[in-house]
């Protein structure tokens, strides 16, 4: 009668090592992807900031709030807000064409300072599949951002990513400093909840 042979301890050890290497490769790959997304978000902030300052230097006005942009570019002037007052009015993620925060993108594209179709106000998508926008409107709920302080906002940011962004550039408090974050559903206004990714936030970089 033939005996059924099982795996030897050496064979089992080899299989376990291979599985460990595969899992390590997958986890390392995920870490590389996440770090690339974070860097992409930071680059977006730097690029948009540079575009704003370039526009100001060129036209002596903020994009979106530029009272002479309609004559210069042949676009419809935003009607929601006071043009030329130094604030970009409207929600940072507004898709309403009459808001200054929406016209912001059209002005930058018409000036050739950011990529995209210059005939529309479509908000760019960030690395975490949310939108990117700019506003000076006060955010009344925690964290409060005072009216008149222009900020770049990113939506759909996982809690852990918001915490990493804070740790790299600010004070690690979502309600204080130059980087702030919304509370999110079930999240905390003052901490990052042990980086629990069930919480999705909006992150605001104040200029």
Quick one: three-class SS letters along 58-125? Answer: HHCCCCCCCCCHHHHHCCCCCCECCCCCCCCCCCCCCCCCCEHHHHHHHHHHHCCCCCCCCCCCCCCE
Total number of residues shown for the chain? 207
Q: What is the pLDDT of residues 150-170, one digit of tens each?
A: 999 999 999 999 999 999 889
pLDDT at 82: 93
Q: Is 90 exceeded by the pLDDT of residue 138?
A: no
Model-level pTM?
Answer: 0.84
Domains of the chain (ranges, CATH numbers): 9-206 (3.30.1690)
Q: Is 60 exceeded by the pLDDT of residue 18?
A: yes
Report the percentage of the chain scoring pLDDT > 90: 59
pLDDT at 142: 61
Q: What is the pLDDT of residues 100-121, one digit of tens each?
A: 999 999 999 999 999 888 777 8
Measured CA to CA in angstroms, residue 60 lies from 9, 36, 107, 125, 193 at distances of 75, 35, 13, 28, 42
């Amino acid at each position: 009668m033939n005996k059924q042979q099982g795996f030897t301890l050496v064979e089992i050890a080899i299989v376990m090592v291979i599985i460990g290497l595969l899992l390590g490769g997958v986890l390392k790959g995920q870490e590389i992807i996440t770090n690339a997304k974070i860097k992409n978000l930071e680059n977006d902030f730097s690029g948009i900031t540079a575009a704003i300052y370039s526009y100001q230097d060129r036209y002596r006005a903020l994009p979106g709030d530029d009272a002479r942009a309609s004559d210069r570019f042949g676009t419809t002037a935003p009607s929601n807000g006071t043009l030329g007052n130094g604030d970009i009015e409207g929600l940072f993620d507004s898709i309403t064409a009459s808001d200054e925060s929406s016209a912001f993108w059209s002005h930058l594209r018409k000036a050739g300072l950011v990529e995209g179709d210059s005939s529309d106000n479509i908000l760019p998508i960030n690395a975490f599949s949310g939108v990117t926008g700019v506003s000076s409107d006060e955010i009344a709920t925690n964290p409060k951002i005072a009216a008149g302080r222009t900020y770049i906002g990113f939506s759909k940011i996982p809690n852990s990513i918001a915490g990493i962004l804070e740790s790299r550039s600010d004070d690690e408090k979502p309600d204080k400093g130059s980087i702030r974050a919304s509370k999110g559903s079930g999240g905390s206004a003052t901490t990052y909840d042990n980086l629990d990714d069930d919480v999705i936030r909006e992150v605001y970089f104040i200029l």
